[in-house]
Structure 1
């Protein structure tokens, strides 16, 4: 599987939610770790009556034949507990026989300051990549295939020195984990197959801690996602399937994950199934300098917040994790031009639709008054209905541009617009609150002629 062109998105998914602003372990948001894509041991699931899932399932459709080659990989983060200990008596040197350094020699502490350095207890993570299969479809048609995997426990001690003496230790403990991936392939139409990939956590736990979520998280698979690739075949988009396959696509059952096509727009050879809801062909904004890990946040806002931290808060952030230290260093190095690139982005809505179409949204909506089709990028005049929201009524008569057409869970259509004379209109195009407004199709009058805008009904 050639990951070069999809790696930035895949890595962003892997570390989404890894740590949240304000990037300190003392923050309430960071006290409960691993919020995305967690697969917990089945014994914990059973003991807590399903408090957290013990399996994840991806179902998708493949168009091909028995010679079509399929590759499946499962990626996740394996949590690792990092504790801090303060030596009761400083040591002049690190003992060669570490077995002789026991818990009796140090006191567990939440954090330790040595000179200008800080050390904090934390849960780190190790990336895991399980290559499940790489074979033609013909090998999977004979029956279910089960692929077990294990990762061993790990225990490490790291000395912490200051003023020529060892005064503390970092203790890293990683629990052994055991999982299984089950694959089932079945033909569902001519040259169309339904693939099921189920990931299960069969790790055993100490019965005394089997109901403790924090302990269970150390035996979990965090931020789990599945990558699938085909050769001489294609995946079917579950978000925008062809008419002939819509019924089959709607019957695909995905548990805790959302499969989307990924790569160059139009390509159908790689599928990303992740715990984060994405459109087909997600991409990382070119203005972004790197990961912020904090879901739904905006680079510019987080950069300004980080720069506004006190020196003490920045020291704590830098000491917590190598990734947060790199984030702090990168943010402090931003210059004025970099901030302007983050702030001043204005993209043509037509171009956005062509490159990354919102495939779950209707392509057009007919105006019930005039029979005109509305499209993203069309210019319109707002005509809010009598008795509507006060803010909507204030916008009556304003001209605007359609930024998106969206459908809610009750199948109602909403048209998102940006106002022509809004000084912050570019923020609306970036989907920032307060500069993007929603109206029903009946509250919008198209200003497009049939030759330049929507077609007549």
Structure 2
């Protein structure tokens, strides 16, 4: 089972560190001020005051065979508070807001220490009251000395962890009917007795006593789990009656296997996998790896020093972006996963793979502009307020509120040149424009980077 868990952990690690540190990977960045957003199980007393959760519940269906055993692995981060101290001239250490070093700038930060709770039990023992696995992580303090480039002691980092207590409960009950299936219930609870000071405590005080990014790996041997998103017809009703709270179970591990479940606070599909093009963890799954890598490589030297001093994982991201060869970055650009076979090749014919685009001739690549001569961005024209508008026309921008972002609103009332008339596959029309007075308009035209508005968001100027 350990080998099967190892495959699932590749995705579980992404869940564990999702949003851990966001671009630009500095503690001073505004979006790194509010952290730990997924799977946070707080102490019960704080949960009652804040409406955050102190437990999560997983329910799924399994078909164990004779003598089956269930392996459970609870994973979470234990937030440890890092304090920066400088060595003073009197030989005493004093707490400071930052400590400058040649290669990094050390600042206070909450690091995440990985924790695991494991338990293996016979499925027969899960019926009735099941089993309860209590666990505890004691408070601790660690010190790391900091030296400068010449090896002189200049300060230290003091890391403190608060005590955490919790419980993992596992129960199972057979389903009614002809199939030898069972309902498995796994509950993770934060049982820490910590009580916040009245009127003084906040989420920042509760986090070191919380289970952060908590999720479960469940393995069955011998036997299999049923998919909660695509169950067999006979199990549809039983799956619908399962109660999952603050987590969602999916089949994990090698594709085609069904003996491992990942119950995650982030909703995933069955058999999730890390993209093969991904060069490494960037801790920001809401962004595109290519954009993140380029932006990170473009940070100033001072910004990179601050990122390296924020967290060792942030330092790894900086080093990854700086050392990424062109061929790796190229793989991140335009990966296509939607190709499917659309013809039935004979024994001597190669498979003909084309994108799923209705009406596209198999011998014409979908990206070829000549594949459809019915439209031409340069010569096409449309009628706006009774006037013909096309490339070269001048228009007044009047973005509406219905589908406009904040940046478009700044262009209200500005005049612009139409560069092209574009038609999308749904029959919509978009005007590519450049704003008059934009000093970068020549660069925009050379690179084809325009602003886009719909016909009802512009008005023809008199000399259009």
**Distance in 1 separating the partners of 2:294 and 2:202:** 37
Query: What per-residue deviation string (whole Å, max 9, x for no partner) do you get for residues 328-371 of structure 1?
Result: 111111122111111142234337xxxxxxxxxxxxxxxxxxxx
Q: CA deviation at 1:206?
A: 5.1
- Matched residue, 2:272: 282
- Matched residue, 2:134: 148
1:179 aligns with 2:169: no
1:213 aligns with 2:198: no
**Distance in 1 separating the partners of 2:155 and 2:90:** 8
**Distance in 2 separating the partners of 1:122 and 1:57:** 31
- Matched residue, 1:7: 9
Q: CA deviation at 1:380?
A: 5.2
Task: Assess if the C-alpha contact under 8 Å between 1:84 and 1:169 holds in 2.
Answer: yes
Q: CA deviation at 1:396?
A: 6.2
Q: CA deviation at 1:176?
A: 1.1
**Distance in 2 separating the partners of 1:172 and 1:159:** 11
1:23 aligns with 2:2: no
Q: CA deviation at 1:7?
A: 2.8
Q: CA deviation at 1:159?
A: 2.6
**Distance in 1 separating the partners of 2:73 and 2:103:** 43
**Structure 1 regions of 5+ residues with no counterpart?**
92-104, 352-375, 382-388, 399-433, 435-457
Q: CA deviation at 1:183?
A: 1.4
Matches within 5 A, 1:16-415: 16-48=18-50, 50=51, 52-65=52-65, 67-91=67-91, 105-132=92-119, 134-162=120-148, 165-189=152-176, 190-205=179-194, 207-208=196-197, 211-350=201-340, 377=356, 379=358, 394-395=423-424
Structure 1 residues 320 and 180: alpha-carbon distance in aligned structure 2, compared to 1, 3 A threshold: same
Task: Assess if the C-alpha contact under 8 Å between 2:46 and 2:196 holds in 1.
Answer: no
| SS at structure 2 position matched to 1:172 | strand
Q: Give the TM-score normalised by the residue count of structure 1.
A: 0.72
When structure 1 is superposed on structure 2, of 216-225 and 203-212 the one drifting more is 203-212
**Distance in 2 separating the partners of 1:151 and 1:264:** 32
**Distance in 2 separating the partners of 1:174 and 1:396:** 55
**Distance in 2 separating the partners of 1:145 and 1:315:** 49
Q: CA deviation at 1:125?
A: 1.4
Q: Give the TM-score normalised by the residue count of structure 2.
A: 0.71
**Distance in 1 separating the partners of 2:22 and 2:280:** 15
Structure 1 residues 288 and 207: alpha-carbon distance in aligned structure 2, compared to 1, 3 A threshold: closer
| SS at structure 1 position matched to 2:99 | strand
**Distance in 2 separating the partners of 1:64 and 1:35:** 35
| SS at structure 1 position matched to 2:100 | strand
Q: CA deviation at 1:223?
A: 0.8
Q: CA deviation at 1:65?
A: 4.4
**Structure 2 regions of 5+ residues with no counterpart?**
342-354, 361-401, 404-421, 428-451, 453-464
| SS at structure 2 position matched to 1:304 | helix
**Distance in 2 separating the partners of 1:232 and 1:108:** 55
Structure 1 residues 166 and 185: alpha-carbon distance in aligned structure 2, compared to 1, 3 A threshold: same
Q: CA deviation at 1:90?
A: 4.9
Q: CA deviation at 1:46?
A: 1.9
Query: What per-residue deviation string (whole Å, max 9, x for no partner) do you get for residues 229-283 of structure 1?
Result: 1112110100001111111101111111111101222211000001111110111
**Distance in 1 separating the partners of 2:103 and 2:238:** 61
Structure 1 residues 152 and 71: alpha-carbon distance in aligned structure 2, compared to 1, 3 A threshold: same
**Distance in 1 separating the partners of 2:209 and 2:6:** 30
Q: CA deviation at 1:57?
A: 0.7
| SS at structure 2 position matched to 1:232 | strand
| SS at structure 1 position matched to 2:197 | helix
Q: CA deviation at 1:122?
A: 0.5
When structure 1 is superposed on structure 2, of 113-122 and 35-44 the one drifting more is 113-122
Task: Assess if the C-alpha contact under 8 Å between 1:90 and 1:166 holds in 2.
Answer: no
Task: Assess if the C-alpha contact under 8 Å between 1:84 and 1:121 holds in 2.
Answer: yes
Q: CA deviation at 1:186?
A: 0.9
What root-mean-square deviation, in Å, do the aligned CA atoms of Structure 1 and Structure 2 show?
2.6
